[in-house]
Amino acid sequence: MHCGAMNCSTFKSFTLTILIAILIWTSVSDHQTCNARRDRRSTSTSLSKKKSSNHHHHGHNVAKSKSKSTSHKAPPPSSVTPPKDKAPSSPPPEKDYGGGPAAAGTYNVLDFGAKGDGTSDDTKAFEGAWAAACKVAGSKIIVPSPYKFLVGPITFSGPYCQKNIIFQVDGTIIAPSSFKPYGSGLFQWILFTKLVGLTIQGGGTIDGSGSVWWKESRLNDPLDDELKLIVPINGTTEQTTNSSISSSLGGKMPSIKPTAIRFYGSFDVTVTGITIQNSPQCHLKFDNCMGVSVYNFNVSSPADSPNTDGIHLQNSKDVLIHTTDLSCGDDCISIQTGCSNIYIHNVNCGPGHGISIGSLGKDNTKACVSNVTVRDVMMHNTMNGVRIKTWQGGSGSVQGVQFSNIQVSEVQLPIVIDQFYCDKSTCTNQSSAVALSGINYERIRGTYTVKPVHFACSDSMPCTDVHLNGINLKPIQERYHLYDAFCWKTFGELLSPTVPPVECLQIGKPSSSHVQADHDTC
């Protein structure tokens, strides 16, 4: 059938209008139905009903759809459902260290059989805790307070242990009070070797039970050579007396006295918070380590305890020591050969023998030390302040040393360079020496009781580029003879007037300075 143009257009318009009206009516109807259902049921249920109503099944199919929705969101079995009063997404709070349940990766020595009574041998428990922690990166060993753990010589070793283990010392660890566990002699009581990222932290104490070793100290134990410069006014010198106590304390003393804690061949190690006291010899030693941090740390031993250095550095690089209190019977900090990039600040030293570089070059050995900064240090009642000591016959060099803002109080010898060091009765004169250059002293102030400055440098290898700036040292007349500043073969510059005058320092450079041979360079 054919229609005219007008009639066709009218018919199409009429049809389109009817279709639009039907669509609008359907949309409004569905919208009202959805709103009504939302008022009565949950969203998931209404969606199910809507789907059912579109298929004209209102009763039975609604129940089936609701059942399916509920089963899809069913909770886990009751045996693994978290308690309603805890948020399962939040980590549990860290446990106390009193021997209760430990968090994952945490190993309390009490859980490995330690008694913590101060008399039972807890060495095996510590070994067991370490064996477990060694396998877990970032693990933590807990030595809880207020327990006291008697532990014999022990080694915590890598290199197959995981990184970043924490040794949390809140209680007290005590060394044996007899020589027997050490056999013929050990270099250390507690050894950490070939580890990466190890941290010793906490507020606890590590006690080396050193008094038995000090009392049995042999006559040939090395003595600090600077004692020869300290002459009492009455002309008498203190004599070391030895008492024979071997029979009551476990046999003959070994030829080697142990360091309390020694780190060997380790990287990125930290010691903080703890106290080490009464070590038989050095308290804390770092040997062949790189990346060392020591802070908020304490050493405590009597002034007359022999050779009890506070912190001893050897063949170690990139070392930071700060905010420490060091009281001992030898150097508060000792820096030996192979050390570089050493930064020390905010340290309290005393009693003790000061902060020393050396002794270096013993037995004709080569020694290399460079880039050492010691600043913001307080020293009270020490033998030395800041010191460099080398043996005749050595080789190598010490260079790039900065001592600044050192406050001394009743210090016998505040500034010392001694290239004729000898810790026994006699030493052979030799011409070769460790070369010293680039040594800067700035703002060294306070009081002294023997001599303000002692520079004794080698005839064949004079000290060069020694700079003094802001030196102000005043004498205190006590029980020692007082001496003026002393210099021998020391060349450098006075950057400001000194108190007292250091007129013996030779300005400039030596006219015929020794040319370092290949074996002298570092």
Q: 147 near 217, Cβ under 8 Å?
A: no
Closest CA to 409 of 386, 387, 388, 382: 382
Q: Which of 323, 318, 324 is nearest to 342 (CA)?
A: 318
Q: How far apart are CA 164 and CA 323, in angstroms?
A: 23
Residue 170 CA neighbour count, 13 Å, CB half: 16
Active-site residue, 353 included? yes
Element (H, E) at 169: strand 166-169
Answer whether 494's CB lies under 8 Å from 468's CB: yes
Asked if the bond preceding 146 is cis, omega within 30° of 0, the reply is yes
Tokens of 150: 């008697």
Q: Bridge-partner residues for 446, per DSSP? A: 408, 473
Token pair listed for 461: 């290898």
The whole-angstrom separation of Cα 516 and Cα 237 is: 40
Nearest to 150 by CA among 185, 99, 109: 109
Residue tagged active-site, from 56, 353, 454, 514 = 353
The one-letter amino acid at 247: S
The Cα angle at residue 244 between residues 242 and 248, in degrees rounded to 5: 140
Residues designated as active site:
353
